[in-house]
Amino acid sequence: MEDLGKGIKAGKVAEPTGTKVAMIKQDILAKYPESLYLPIWLVKTNDTTYRRFNYDIDIKSKFDFGLVNLASLIKDTIKPSLSSKVQRRTDIVVTIEESKFGEKGKSEIAEMEDGIDLPYLSRRIFDVVDNPFSAREYANCAMKILETEIEIANLKSNFGFIVNEIATAYDKSKRDQEKSIFESLANDHRIILALSEDKKLGFKIPDKETIPISQYPNLYNSYLFDDLDVTTLNGLEEQIAKTIDEKENVIWWFRNKPNKNWYGVKGWRKGNIYPDFISAKKGTDGKLDLVYVIESKGEHLGGSEDTIYKKSVFKAINETNKQIISNNISLVKFKVNDKFHFEVVDQEEVVARIGLLFA
């Protein structure tokens, strides 16, 4: 028996597999149902009807890229830069839409032989304006001015740099117009920030979510759902979750999901901002006081363009939500919460900032 026992090795304990459904806790549904509705932008179609804000319809369709003054750009910016400093194609860094171009975009410029490549210019403009016919028209117009203003040898040897400057100008025009159009809609009260029970208009946190079955228990007391897959939290998120969960005046909190079924905040750029955490706080009387929408940023992302944009969108929401809700109470069938605060929290100030929010 001893020899037989030596041949037996302890097997590895198998990890749980499969999924389970986590539900919003019943006591929260019963006591704080108003806290589960979150604000979104709606477009006013007439005095009594609304629809959801749509980037393609409400922003993109109003672009006017004719505002890019190619003649001035080439004469006053590009041409002087060529005469003051020799620009070589291998020194160029693609500065716009890097998520689209990536390393491929950089190598296209670096490896392109000296020469004029009109299709390349057209393609770079198309990446911004998203219309092949307009892109070709703008490229042809730019080429006519370039051939008039810049010597052919200089144009050939610096074509990559020139293309980058032109594409950057179109991208800047797009960014400026996005924000300007959005602000115009808001100032004219053609878009509002509202809550609604109507599923086609408003947003309510889903009653349930499907999560993997895990061997790691959920030790958070104030999580909105009756279970959590804790393995989905990274280091920064764990720190935020622990800090929020320890606050006595927290009713609930949950980790938002970056997909269409969960809470997405729209701004003036295409796509949604999916904030990391949402949490409800109660007052000294035990009633709902405020709902926080929190986006967290690591140290290396604190000053990025993406972070600056999100802070700008959150600022716009914080400045408009109270007024909009009170002026459009007919949108809701019962009194829902209209007190929200949206915040981007940097990693180095997580504990201190959340401490202030839940003070």
Model pLDDT for residues 60-90, shown as the tens digit of each residue: 999 999 999 999 999 999 999 886 544 344 3
Has residue 205 been placed in a domain? yes
Distance of CA 8 to the CA centre of its chain: 55
292 lies in the same domain as 226: yes
176 lies in the same domain as 239: no
226 lies in the same domain as 150: no
Has residue 11 been placed in a domain? no
pLDDT of residue 114: 56
Residue 8 has pLDDT above 60, yes or no: no
DSSP state letters, 187-238: HTTSEEEE--S-TTT-EE--SEEEEE--SS----SSBSBS---GGG--HHHH
Give residues with Cβ within 8 angstroms of 184, minimum separation 6.
none
230 lies in which domain range?
A: 19-39+195-357
The average confidence (pLDDT) of the chain is 83
pTM of the model: 0.80
Has residue 317 been placed in a domain? yes
Has residue 177 been placed in a domain? yes
- What CA–CA distance (Å, rounded) separates 320 from 185? 13
179 lies in the same domain as 199: no
- What CA–CA distance (Å, rounded) separates 258 from 119? 36
346 lies in the same domain as 205: yes
In this structure, the dihedral spanned by the alpha carbons of residues 242, 244, 250 and 255, taken in order and rounded to 10 degrees, is -90
Last residue of a domain, one of 153, 185, 217: 185
Are the C-beta atoms of 294 and 275 separated by less than 8 Å?
yes
263 lies in the same domain as 165: no
Has residue 240 been placed in a domain? yes
Residue 136 has pLDDT above 90, yes or no: yes
163 lies in the same domain as 236: no
Question: What is the pLDDT confidence band of residue 337, given thresholds at 50, 70 and 90?
Answer: low
Question: What is the pLDDT confidence band of residue 4, given thresholds at 50, 70 and 90?
Answer: very low
179 lies in the same domain as 294: no
Give the residue, 284 or 49, on which the prediction is more confident.
Answer: 284
Last residue of a domain, one of 166, 185, 204: 185
111 lies in the same domain as 220: no
Give residues with Cβ within 8 angstroms of 95, minimum separation 6.
164, 168
64 lies in the same domain as 200: no
Comparing 44-48, 245-249, 338-342, the range with the smallest average pLDDT is 44-48
Last residue of a domain, one of 160, 185, 210: 185
The number of domains in the chain is 2
Has residue 190 been placed in a domain? no
311 lies in the same domain as 350: yes
Has residue 86 been placed in a domain? yes
Has residue 44 been placed in a domain? no
177 lies in the same domain as 277: no
